Amino acid sequence: MSPVDPAAHQPAITAPVSRFLAVADVARSVAFYRDILGFSAEPVNAVTTEKPEDGRPSEVALINGPARILIGAQGSAVDSTGQPRPRGSAMIFIETDDVAGMRELVRSRGGNVTELEKLNWIKYRVFQVRDPDGHTIWFGQSFQEPDPESAPGKQLRLLLPELPVRDVSAAITYYQKVLGFKINYAQEDLGVMYRDDVTLLLIPRTGEHLGIGSCYAYVRDADALHAELMARGADVKGKPVSQPWGLRDFRVLDLDGNRITFGQTFE
């Protein structure tokens, strides 16, 4: 029996990635991305701009399949929105053909990986690892099922409302404790909240996202949900009302005045 090449069975990166990362120590970062994440390193320029006497490259290209990450010794870097961000604040998403295998590979090489989790709102299984400067690297693999055949011209499948809030962290807590939602994903400027089959996004109320948001959720039993939310202390605006168009619904306001209407169809 011919020997098996382990490298031929390793998980691979499958989608292009192109980013620049500001790092404190280029050599340290090269060692991490090479030895832990499996990237190769190629110098971009001959000597460092900060300390030419060192004779070391100030910028290095890290390459793994279609992923190319450029690192340089500096305090900040411009992100995808064109804004400068401090060193250690970048987030990179890398798609792989075997996320469980990639996690085990990174873990076996000494990477401090998180548990695998499902992000239902984007249909990916993911894990996270941080580089020496604190940049966050997500590895993910889609678990999206093939779309069933649909009628010609049918396009829309799911609506994901964004509700602007003054304090994302406080809003996340409120949606959990008072409205019965759970956290799908959370960071400083984003809360992805779900309850049963419904998902919504909590985003910062900024100059681009002013005013009050609203959305309508179809429910199985409006009266039972009304009683539950009343008991939880939600800001419920009246009892369920049977509307002439065939929906029995009621409204709830969150901490920021965003309105969620819960409605039940009836014959």
Q: Which pLDDT score is estimated for 81? A: 54
Q: Which pLDDT score is estimated for 43? A: 87
Q: Which pLDDT score is estimated for 8? A: 52
- Alpha carbons 199 and 215: distance in angstroms, whole number: 11
Q: Which pLDDT score is estimated for 47? A: 41
Longest dimension (CA), the chain: 81
Q: 134: left (phi > 0), else alpha (psi -120 to 50), else beta?
A: left
| All domains in the chain, ordered by first residue | 12-142 (3.10.180.10), 162-265 (3.10.180.10)
3-state secondary structure the chain: CCCCCHHHHCCCECCCEEEEEEECCHHHHHHHHHHCCCCEEEECCCCCCCCHHHCCCCEEEEEECCEEEEEEECCEEECCCCCEEECCCCEEEEEECCHHHHHHHHHHCCCCCCCCEEECCCCEEEEEEECCCCCEEEEEEECCCCCCCCCCCCCCCCCCCEEEECCHHHHHHHHHHCCCCEEEEEECCEEEEEECCEEEEEEECCCCCCCCCEEEEECCCHHHHHHHHHHHCCEEEEEEEECCCCEEEEEEECCCCCEEEEEEECC
- Over residues 174-219, the pLDDT tens digits come to 999 999 999 988 888 899 999 998 999 999 998 777 788 999 999 9
Q: Which pLDDT score is estimated for 149? A: 55
pTM: 0.57
Cβ 245 vs Cβ 263: under 8 Å: no
- Alpha carbons 229 and 249: distance in angstroms, whole number: 13
pLDDT in tens, the chain (267 residues): 344 444 456 899 998 888 899 999 999 999 999 999 999 999 886 444 444 444 455 799 999 999 999 999 999 887 655 668 899 988 888 999 999 999 999 999 999 999 998 877 678 899 999 999 999 999 999 887 555 555 667 777 778 899 999 999 999 999 999 999 999 888 888 999 999 989 999 999 987 777 889 999 999 999 999 999 999 999 999 999 988 778 899 999 999 999 999 999 875
Distances in whole angstroms, Cα of residue 213 to Cα of each of 32, 165, 177, 226: 44, 9, 20, 20
- Over residues 214-228, the pLDDT tens digits come to 999 999 999 999 999
Angle 133-106-79 from CA coordinates, rounded to 5°: 35
